[in-house]
A and B are shown apart, each in its own frame.
Chain A
């Protein structure tokens, strides 16, 4: 079985400050890890993925995520938050070779002007 935990329902950050959205996972075998973003009344949009290689993954809109195998974490980061980054963020994991991800419950990111 595989699972994802996003421990924060909501993250608040001021515009211009760095942001972190946390994610930990559990999976047997090699993890494939993903971040998606959902804006109001929209479907999910792919941000980035970790399959193998460099632990620091860069994605869309200036986001990056760091894979930490020992801590089974894959936190999403951005150096300088924008108000337009306010949205619902989902972390997902799949077992290596599987195309079917298990999603976390989501974290609402609110960036204050």
Chain B
């Protein structure tokens, strides 16, 4: 168990809908990263937050947004969902003492029908 929790585990929704994925980092970790894993694209970095502020942005669509709250949990919002958004979404966190080692949550499997 990495100490990173993600909810929900599974999410099934329809095209055009909006969903929110939630992540709680390991205790004390200030950095949160979001990744998308799909069969065709592999593991893609989406966005990083550090202590509430956006730190780095990757291949994140404009329909997607994220935020990190004062208690350090993070949410990834996906809107106007398309079939191609079906994927595993992972959250990871890292600490100040080991910034290059990321601890991944179990993921949220999103299915868009």
**Smallest beta-carbon distance B101→chain A, Å:** 5
Interface of B is mostly: strand
User: Which A residues are in CB contact (< 8 Å) with B14?
Assistant: none
Which of the four size classes fits the interface of chain A? 20 to 34
Which of B67-75, B76-84, B104-112 touches A?
Answer: B104-112
A103 touches B43 (CB 8 A): yes
Q: Indicate with 1 or 0, residue by residue over A82-113, a CB within 8 angstroms of chain B CB atoms.
A: 00000000100010001111111110000000
Count A-B contacts at CB 8 Å: 51
| Count of interface residues, chain B, beta-carbon cutoff 8 Å | 23
Which of A18-26, A42-50, A62-70, A72-80 touches B?
Answer: A42-50
A60 to B12, CA, bound (A): 36
State the A residues within 8 Å of B (CB).
Answer: 32, 34, 36, 41-46, 49, 51, 90, 94, 98-106
